[in-house]
C-alpha cells in the first residue's frame, strides 16, 4: 500500500511537471505577446476571419521602402466584439485600417490587437476581455 | 489536397459549422458543456482507477463500485462526445493540421483500447479479486494507463486552442 501511494504521488508529480512545459497562452496576453514590442499596423485588409475563439484580421502593410508584408491581427471573440459594435461584416477586403497592438513573442507576423481604427474613423478596443493586456479593464 | 482535409474543409464550411464558429454564444456554451462532460467522465473514471490502485474505498468490492459508477462515466462520455463533434465541425479545417488535436485523437484511441483489453482479460475474473488486499498487477496497470491517458487528453485538448499551425 505504501508503495502504491508513493507510486501514485510520483505519477501526479510527473504529470504536474508536464504542465510546466511553456504554454502557448491564450488567456494571458503577456504570454503570447511581447509587451515591450508595441506595433502600429497601417494597412489594407486582405482577410477577415470572424471566428471563435478569436477573430483574425490580415492586413498588407507597406514599409518605407515600399515592401509589402502580410500581418495577422489577433483580436477577441465574436461575442465580445459584438458587444462593442463589431459585426461579421464590419470589415471588408480592401478596407484601410490601423491596428495598435504588441508583436508575438515567437517572432511571427502576428500582433495581439489592443485598438483597431476603421476606415470611417471609429476606434474600438480589440483586446480580449480579461486577458490582462494593456487597456483591459476586465469589463470591456 | 488529401481526401481527409477535403472532408474537414467541407465540414468547416457547412452552414452548420459556420454558424457555430461565427456565433456570439453557441461556441462558448458548447465549449463549456464539453468541459463539464469531461469533468463528469474523468472525475468518475478516476474513482474506479483509484479503487483499482487500492488508494480509496478498499472495503468496497470493485465490481459493485464499478456498477454504480460506470453509468455516470458513460453519461459524461456521451456529453463530451456530442459537444466535441460539434466543436470539431466548426473548426475542422484548422483542427486537421493541429498537432495537439492529432495527439488528442491518438490518446483517445489508446484510452478506448485500454478498457477493451482490461475487460476481456483481468476484469472477467473480478470475482476472484473483488475484495483482495492487493489488486492484480494488470488491473493496477490499466488504472495507471487510464489516469495518464485521460490527463494527457485534457492537456492536449487545452493546447489545441494555443497551437497555431
pLDDT in tens, B30-87: 999 999 999 999 999 999 999 999 999 999 999 999 999 999 999 999 999 999 999 9
- A8: contact with B, CB 8 A cutoff: yes
**pLDDT, position A128:** 86
The nearest CA of chain B is from the CA of A90 a distance in Å of: 13
pLDDT tens-digit readout, A47-58: 999 999 899 999
pLDDT tens-digit readout, B130-148: 998 899 999 999 999 999 9
- Other Cβ atoms less than 10 A from the Cβ of B4: the count is 10
Using CA atoms, how far apart are residues B23 and A82, in angstroms rounded to an integer?
10
Using CA atoms, how far apart are residues B42 and B46, in angstroms rounded to an integer?
6
**pLDDT, position A2:** 62
Average pLDDT over chain B, rounded to whole?
Answer: 95
**pLDDT, position A19:** 56
Using CA atoms, how far apart are residues B36 and B123, in angstroms rounded to an integer?
28
**Residue B164 — very low, low, confident or very high, per pLDDT cuts 50/70/90?**
low
Instruction: Pick B104 or A7 by higher pLDDT.
Output: B104
> Once rounded to an integer, what is the mean pLDDT over residues A32-36?
90
Beta pairing class for A68-74 and A110-117: parallel
**pLDDT, position A27:** 55
The pLDDT > 90 percentage for chain B reads 92
Using CA atoms, how far apart are residues B90 and B26, in angstroms rounded to an integer?
11
C-alpha cell at A71: 500581418
Domain boundaries, chain B: 3-160
**Residue A14 — very low, low, confident or very high, per pLDDT cuts 50/70/90?**
low
Cα-based distances in Å from B97 to B6, B15, B94, B103, B164: 12, 22, 6, 11, 9
Q: Which residues of B touch A20 (CB under 8 A)?
A: none
DSSP-assigned beta bridge partners for residue A70: A60
**pLDDT, position A16:** 64
Are A5 and B55 within 8 A, CB to CB? yes
What's the CATH class of domain A26-125?
mainly beta
Using CA atoms, how far apart are residues A37 and A30, in angstroms rounded to an integer?
11
The pLDDT > 90 percentage for chain A reads 58
> Once rounded to an integer, what is the mean pLDDT over residues B96-111?
96
Q: Contact at 8 Å (CB) between A91 and A118?
A: yes
- A25: contact with B, CB 8 A cutoff: yes
Cα-based distances in Å from A113 to A49, A133, A140, B33: 14, 10, 14, 29
Please, what's the b/e burial string for A43-64 (b: 16 or more CB within 10 A of its CB; e: otherwise)? bbbbebbbbbbbbebbbebeee
Are A15 and B151 within 8 A, CB to CB? yes
Amino acid at each position: 500500500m505504501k508503495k502504491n501511494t508513493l507510486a501514485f504521488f510520483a505519477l501526479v508529480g510527473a504529470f504536474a511537471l508536464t504542465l510546466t512545459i511553456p504554454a502557448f497562452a491564450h488567456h494571458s496576453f503577456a504570454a503570447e505577446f511581447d509587451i515591450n514590442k508595441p506595433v502600429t499596423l497601417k494597412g489594407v485588409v486582405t482577410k477577415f476571419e470572424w471566428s471563435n475563439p478569436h477573430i483574425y484580421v490580415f492586413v498588407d502593410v507597406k514599409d518605407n521602402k515600399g515592401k509589402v508584408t502580410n500581418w495577422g491581427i489577433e483580436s477577441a471573440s465574436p461575442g465580445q466584439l459584438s458587444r462593442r459594435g463589431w459585426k461579421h461584416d464590419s470589415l471588408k477586403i480592401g478596407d484601410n485600417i490601423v491596428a495598435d497592438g504588441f508583436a508575438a513573442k515567437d517572432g511571427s507576423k502576428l500582433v495581439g490587437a489592443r485598438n483597431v481604427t476603421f476606415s470611417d474613423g471609429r476606434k474600438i478596443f480589440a483586446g480580449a476581455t480579461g486577458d490582462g493586456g494593456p487597456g483591459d479593464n476586465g469589463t470591456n | 489536397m488529401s481526401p481527409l482535409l477535403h472532408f474537414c474543409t467541407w465540414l468547416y464550411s457547412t452552414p452548420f459549422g459556420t454558424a457555430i464558429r461565427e456565433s456570439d454564444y453557441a461556441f462558448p456554451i458548447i465549449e463549456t458543456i464539453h468541459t463539464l462532460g469531461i469533468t463528469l467522465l474523468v472525475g468518475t473514471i478516476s474513482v474506479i482507477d483509484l479503487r483499482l490502485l487500492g488508494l480509496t474505498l478498499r472495503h468496497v468490492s470493485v465490481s459493485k463500485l464499478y456498477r454504480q459508477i460506470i453509468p455516470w462515466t458513460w453519461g459524461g462520455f456521451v456529453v463530451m462526445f456530442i459537444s466535441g463533434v460539434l466543436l470539431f465541425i466548426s473548426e475542422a479545417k484548422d483542427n486537421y493540421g493541429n498537432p495537439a488535436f492529432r495527439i488528442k485523437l491518438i490518446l483517445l484511441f489508446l484510452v478506448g483500447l485500454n478498457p477493451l483489453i482490461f475487460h476481456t482479460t483481468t476484469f472477467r475474473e473480478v470475482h476472484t479479486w473483488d475484495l483482495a488486499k492487493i489488486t492484480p498487477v494488470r488491473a493496477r496497470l490499466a488504472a495507471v494507463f487510464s489516469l495518464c491517458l485521460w490527463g494527457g487528453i485534457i492537456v492536449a485538448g487545452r493546447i489545441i486552442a494555443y497551437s497555431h499551425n
